Structure 1
């Protein structure tokens, strides 16, 4: 999909070796990045232990929030695909003890299906 897709809000596969390097400080020794998706500057990362939502903040992106969610705490999730006139697709993830879901918006593309498949694979183990 490339850089241009990322600017449009499309999720694209992220370089796993680069993601491992960037997350080295917060990952356990036996933890492995298995899937990663880039959405502009943010990331959705699936490791063998948890899902990590990486939110780059500010103009420079120096400030970063790492939201770790153990797979066992994901109670449900949904995707809403884009239509002909509504070009946004939406991912919602409900986490135990949170009233409102975590919501991520995507432009019309097929990456939301890959992310949904990863959620199924990791939450049904």
Structure 2
């Protein structure tokens, strides 16, 4: 992940084994990390049970807030690929009870199609 991409808020994919070890105290039995993405110090993780949004706070990042979103709470989602002049891809998630979507930006060569497939796998089943 390039420093410029991080400054622009673009997400990059993170190693799932590393994430699984970091989240041992958060994941429940039989929960597996499917994929994960990082924006600066924050992450969003797709497991076989839920979507985790991880917000590291403060100067040191030792204070961490975990948002757990069951896939059944996602009412719909959209993905947008990067174009010639628009250099980032985008993910939007609408949740039950919220009018504004959660938005995440991905750098141009990020696997936005994989994100869409992961969401479709859990939200549509």
Question: TM-score with structure 1 length normalisation?
Answer: 0.82
- Do the aligned residues in 1 keep the contact of 2:51 with 2:68 (CA within 8 Å)? yes
1:50-71 Cα offsets, whole Å, 9 max, x none, are 1111122333222222111101
Q: Secondary structure at the match of 2:60?
A: coil
Whole-angstrom CA distance in 2 between matches of 1:100 and 1:111: 24
Q: Secondary structure at the match of 2:118?
A: helix
Q: Secondary structure at the match of 2:100?
A: coil
Deviation at 1:43, TM superposition (A): 1.8
Provide structure 2 residue ranges, at least 5 long, that are not aligned to the other structure.
none
Say what the alpha-carbon RMSD is for the aligned residues: 2.0
Whole-angstrom CA distance in 1 between matches of 2:44 and 2:31: 16
Provide structure 1 residue ranges, at least 5 long, that are not aligned to the other structure.
none
- Do the aligned residues in 1 keep the contact of 2:11 with 2:106 (CA within 8 Å)? yes
Whole-angstrom CA distance in 2 between matches of 1:105 and 1:13: 12
- TM alignment of 1:1-125, pairs within 5 A: 3-4=1-2, 8-9=5-6, 10-125=10-125
